[in-house]
Amino acid sequence: MVVIPVIIHLFNFRKYKKVYFSNVALLKRVSQQTTGARQLKRYLLLLCRVLTIVFLVFAFARPYIPSSTPDSVVSQNVVSIYMDNSYSMEALNREGTLLDEAKRKAKEIVGAYALNDRFQLITNDFDGIHKRLMTRNDFTEAVDTIKISSISRSFKQIINRQNLLFKGSGVQSTVTYLLSDFQNNMWDQDSIEKDPASVFRLVQLKANKQANISVDSVWFLSPLHKSGGVEQLIVRLKNNSDTQADQVPLKVLVNEQQKAFASVNIEARGISLDTLSFSGLSGGWEEGRVEIADNPITFDDQYYFSFYVRKEIPLLVINDHQTNVYIEAVYGSEPFFNVNTILEANVDYSRLSEYPLIILSGVEEMTVGLAQQLSQYVRNGGDLVVFPSETNKLTGLQTLTTALGISRPLEVISSRRKVNKIDMKNPLFKGVFKSLPRNISLPFALAYIRYPGNGRNLLELEDQIPFLSQYKVRQGRVYLSAVALNEKSSNLVRHSLFVPIMFQFAFNSLKDQALSYTPGKDLYMEINQTGLDANPILRLNNKDKEIIPDFRKTETGRRMFISDQGMKSGIYKLTNGDSLLAKVAFNDNRSESDLSYLNDTELKKIFKSESFKLFEPGTKSLSSEIKAVNFGVQLWKLCLILSLVSVAAEILLLRYYRQMNIKD
């Protein structure tokens, strides 16, 4: 085709007509100048026409510069797109919220692929509807329905989810796009198990710098809540910004009534602990909430918690022939303890579950039936304290320990031995000592039972002989004493440790649930089996929602799984039929509160793969960038533009070159 304009210019097909003039000298000089100008014009026109045809041919040939990245995909037809919809995506930039920008970017991504390609959508919710592959139109509609979620995911969870969805589907390789602000919490320092055939492409969305104060956690100074008592709540606030926060208002509400108020200063990137006291609570379940005022990020400005206030602690003491005066003296001094003392022959098995603690004192003989019932009581979560009798009969104790599956007594030894070790790490001694004196006076034994050392020794005699041991039996605990509660066996009943130990037995038996749980972080909560029937019908509900939780019986008890139940922040009632079992508080994951992000170097270090590309935010179209990566830089548009430029140059030559020549 290029030959055609060349032939036209080589052969001049125009016919000239001769004209005769009298003065030839003048005509000859003008003719020389005109011929030179015409020759230049002809060559320029030839060049323009040749370039026009050449660039037009190139445009139809669709030339391109191959991609320099080794992960370019030319015939990929499966694309997986993860969209971060955690709370941090509510942050603003010049495009609006990060979630809105992520939706636009996702649509640009699918626009870079062919109509017959298929797409997978993954969000933090891990919805079942997103398991299938979608067409471009279905994907676009699904993207428009995405909303902010309280759940945050790590890179490992996201990649594992993708691998799980594609496992067994026959897909050979995928391109995975991750659209996120890439907070630091997305990397949990674990290595990522990537499919070698997968290509990872990251689109980082950057928000404006914003300050954020969060209520990180709360806890009580004492785990015991007494009706009418003084409560001391410790609140942990965290400053997630680089500037100091002054006079942050903080208040505590219980049952929607304000109980305490404070104003807190927090250093940049610092943590503040503040203790707030309140009282006037009656018995039963209480709903609490801590609030601060911190705009514009508000999802972490409230922290819900629930706790149970007791009017009393019911205790059951089982004696052999007569009551133990030392036990009566200890618990009788405090009205908070409601002690029911009965003889071994009068035990009502059906009511054992009503007591968080049972004390067995001086029982020489024991029926197999009572031993089995006490074993079942402990396995279901109860605490049992066993003090042997002062005689040398071990028959009853052997029957009980066999049923419980703990160390059986071997023999009675009459010898004076002193306690020389205390297990201070055990919760039984929490708060008993401010600091342990060097030369502390500890109890001694005069006659004690020797057990194999299979339990955890809380108090230990010389030569590592157990004096007071603890055994874990399923959900419950057994405290086994080597001495009887009398002065003939030991001086324990006269020792200063006796009262706090007996009190701690009672306080530790109250296995209250946690103040709050975090969906997505806490997988399950343990259910106290005391008082539950064989097939309970459990429900979680508040004024807006009702959930039937996943409830399973395990070897150690019963668990209610809460990881994927869709709980929002707030307080729910846990019911069994018509009866209220507990009030459960849920809070959003505080890992989203820290608005610090991974940089390019850290992201490249995490993925450690040649099949990885990070798209930087900018003015370029993401769709164009993806096409350039997939198919290289396309040059057909440039060729078409250059062809049009050549045509325009030809037109200008034909119109203006003659006028310029005449002026010269």
Confidence tier at 21 by pLDDT (50, 70, 90): low
Residues 426/456, Cβ–Cβ less than 8 Å: yes
| Cis peptide upstream of residue 335 (ω within 30 degrees of 0) | no
Is pLDDT above 60 for 479?
yes
What six digits make up the tokens of 32? 């020389």
Measured distance CA(266)–CA(159) in Å, rounded: 37
Residues 182/202, Cβ–Cβ less than 8 Å: yes
Q: How many CB atoms lie within 10 A of CB 335?
A: 9
Confidence tier at 72 by pLDDT (50, 70, 90): very low
Measured distance CA(537)–CA(532) in Å, rounded: 10
Confidence (pLDDT) at 73: 46
Classify residue 352 by its DSSP letter: G
Which of these, 558, 358, 389, lies nearest to 477 by C-alpha position?
Answer: 358
Q: How many CB atoms lie within 10 A of CB 369?
A: 11
Classify residue 119 by its DSSP letter: E
What six digits make up the tokens of 544? 């807006």
Which of these, 41, 4, 57, 14, lies nearest to 640 by C-alpha position?
Answer: 57
223-260 pLDDT per residue, tens = 889 998 999 999 999 999 888 999 999 999 999 999 99
Measured distance CA(489)–CA(491) in Å, rounded: 7
What six digits make up the tokens of 376? 């079942």
Residues 506/313, Cβ–Cβ less than 8 Å: yes
List strands edge to edge, sheet with 213-220.
213-220, 231-239, 271-278
What six digits make up the tokens of 536? 């309970």
CA dihedral 428, 433, 435, 440 (to 10 degrees): -100
Of 29-43, 235-249, 362-376, 385-399, the one with minimum mean pLDDT is 29-43
As to burial, measured by CB atoms within 10 angstroms (0-12 exposed, 13-18 middle, 19+ buried), residue 30 is: exposed
Average pLDDT over residues 153-171: 78
Instruction: Report which secondary-structure segment, H or E, holds 478.
Output: strand 476-481
Average pLDDT over residues 620-642: 72
Which of these, 464, 444, 435, lies nearest to 452 by C-alpha position?
Answer: 464
Measured distance CA(402)–CA(156) in Å, rounded: 47
Is pLDDT above 90 for 347?
yes
Is pLDDT above 70 for 621?
yes
Is pLDDT above 70 for 564?
no
Averaged pLDDT score across all residues of the chain: 84
Residues 74/630, Cβ–Cβ less than 8 Å: yes
Of residues 358 and 545, more confidently modeled: 358
Instruction: Report the phi/psi class of residue 74: left, alpha or beta, with left for phi > 0 and alpha for psi in -120 to 50.
Output: alpha
Average pLDDT over residues 490-500: 94
Average pLDDT over residues 69-90: 73
Residues 93/101, Cβ–Cβ less than 8 Å: yes
Which of these, 596, 91, 148, lies nearest to 297 by C-alpha position?
Answer: 91
Of residues 591 and 435, more confidently modeled: 591
What six digits make up the tokens of 635? 């040059």
Measured distance CA(193)–CA(180) in Å, rounded: 20
Confidence tier at 74 by pLDDT (50, 70, 90): very low
Instruction: Evaluate if pTM is beyond 0.85.
Output: no
Confidence (pLDDT) at 14: 56
Of residues 189 and 293, more confidently modeled: 293
Confidence tier at 70 by pLDDT (50, 70, 90): very low
Q: Which amino acid is at 2?
A: V
Distances from the Cα of 277 to the Cα of 311, 456, 554, 649, angstroms: 19, 36, 39, 86
Query: Any idea which residue has 């000859």 for tokens?
Result: 28
The packing angle between helices 3-10 and 24-61, to 10°, is 170
Q: Which domains does the chain have, with CATH numbers?
A: 3-63+635-663 (no CATH), 78-209+595-634 (3.40.50.410), 313-508 (3.40.50.880)
Instruction: List, as one string, the DSSP characters of 498-552.
Output: HHHHHHHHHHHT--PPPS-B-BTTB-EEEE--TT--SS--EEEE-SS-EE--EEE
597-610 pLDDT per residue, tens = 988 888 888 877 65
Q: Which amino acid is at 516?
A: S
Residues 163/177, Cβ–Cβ less than 8 Å: no
% of residues, the chain, pLDDT over 90? 41
